[in-house]
Structure 1
Amino acid sequence: MEHIIKVLPYLLEGIKYTFLITIVGVALGFVIGAFAGLGRLSKSKIIYWLCTTYVEIIRGTPILVQILFIYFGLSDLLGINLDKVTASIIAIAINAGAYIAEIVRGGVQSIDKGQFEAGDSIGLTKRQTMWYIIWPQALKRMIPPLGNQFIISLKDTSLFSAIAVGEVLYQGKAYTAAAFTYFEPYLMVAVFYLAITIPASIILRRVERRLDV
């Protein structure tokens, strides 16, 4: 019980980085994913293959490899020295973006083609049809998988302890190294993640019911 109380300040410090990396990273990932997902629907072969290559490379490699490449590899190759938090945000953004791209692509493709024809019939351009008719409907259908991706990315932040980012797991490991005890600190690390992900899942289900998706 003693270590459960003593580890709390460590984990509370770490949770700030966990939220920062997740929220900023997934927000940037949504922007990347939206462009890549729409690019996967483009009739331009160049845009299609560029976006497809990005999605397949990122989805085909572990996020841990990606963060190590971004933090160490870019520094070695190009002399780009990123701080740990920035590198982690970039890794989450790039990784989440690839999965969000498929969510976006699937969401847009789920809309009946008649909606495109309807936009054309009232004189809207393809871009206007996408923005005013297709995108709002598709976005509604994307909410459940986007929520799941947020939770996945949040848990993925634990891997950034590999480059000593002070998130929840790293702080738990720091405490174990100082106190020479493992069960209670790692139990509390698990409790902290559950305390974040379970409410997020509940909120997501309520949003789904409210939007009837």
Structure 2
Amino acid sequence: MNLDFGQIVPYIPFMLEGIWVTLKFVIFAIIFGFVLGTLLALCKISHVKVIGWLADAYTSVFRGTPLILQLMIIYYAVPELVGYDISPFLSSILAFGLNSSAYVSEIIRAGIQAVDKGQTEAAQALGVPYNQMMKDIILPQAMKNILPALMNEFITLTKESALVSTIGYLDLMRRATVVGADLYRNFEPLLFVGVIYYLLVMGLTIIGRLVERRLRYSD
């Protein structure tokens, strides 16, 4: 093996800039996916069957097709229909947010349904409005139970964020391939960003455990 990590030293600042570029769209995608996923979960447990069916159909489509296909459709195909070019940044947020919301909705739905039915019955007996009951009673309890699953989904989204390099978005992965093409050496820059991805995932894991511990002690 003829490895020379010294050659990538001048490119390290360029690759490190990819951390914020990656995290920027990942954070927006997580927020978008969580909000939409919560709304979808509420639709799935709604007594209005049509709304529940539409939410299930949405989840089926986005869970049943590859994420990279969804990304390509939003970035390449949708502009052909609407006549408007979508930037790689916005395309990445939409694709990852829409895809993540399908998984998040199932996680939240399961968490809501796992809450003791007695909580709902007691709130209804006290005349608590449905919206207030979900916001103040059911969802907070559900979140404590599903936090590990949610953190796992967010970690998966962070790792899969490398797919945006296929549409030219200058994330960590794209920057590594640019450096590799410039140096005609791919192993060193790819290994370097691989370590960065690993550290990002470990950071999210630690944050998730701290939040989970705090919620547990707040009971």
- Find the counterpart in structure 2 of residue 128 from structure 1: 132
- Check conservation: 1:108, 1:138, Cα contact below 8 A: yes
Q: Please, which of 29, 32, 43 is the counterpart of residue 39 of structure 1?
A: 43
1:49 maps onto 2:53 in alignment: yes
- State whether structure 2 residue 149 is matched by structure 1 residue 145: yes
Alignment deviations for residues 65-87 of structure 1 (CA, whole Å, 9 cap, x no partner): 00000001101222231111111
- Match of residue 111 from structure 2: 107
Q: 1:2 and 1:32 mapped to 2: Cα distance?
A: 45
**SS of alignment partner, residue 212 of structure 1:** helix
Q: State the number of aligned residues.
A: 213
Q: Alignment RMSD, CA only?
A: 1.4
Q: Deviations over 1:28-78 (max 9, x none)?
A: 111110000111111111101111111010011111000000001101222
- Give the one of 157, 160, 164 matched to 1:160: 164
d(CA) in 2 for partners of 1:125, 1:59: 33
Please state how far the C-alpha of 1:154 moved relative to its aligned partner: 0.9
Matched, 1:61 2:65: yes
1:200 aligned to which of 204, 212, 218: 204
Q: Secondary structure of the residue that 1:166 maps to in structure 2?
A: coil
Q: TM-score, normalised by structure 2?
A: 0.93
1:74-85, aligned counterparts within 5 Å?
74-85=78-89
Task: Indicate the percent of aligned positions where both proteins have the same amino acid.
Answer: 37
Partner of 2:193: 189
Higher relative contact order (CA 8 A, sep 6+): 1
1:180 aligned partner: 184
For the residue of structure 1 that corresponds to 2:29, the secondary structure is helix
CA distance in structure 1 between the partners assigned to 2:126 and 2:100 by the alignment: 36
Please tell me whether the aligned partners of residues 10 and 172 of structure 1 are also in contact (alpha carbons under 8 angstroms).
no
Cα distance between partner residues in 2 of 1:117 and 1:4: 63
User: Do 1:30 and 1:97's aligned partners in 2 also have CA atoms closer than 8 Å?
Assistant: yes
CA contact (8 A) 1:28 1:93 kept: yes
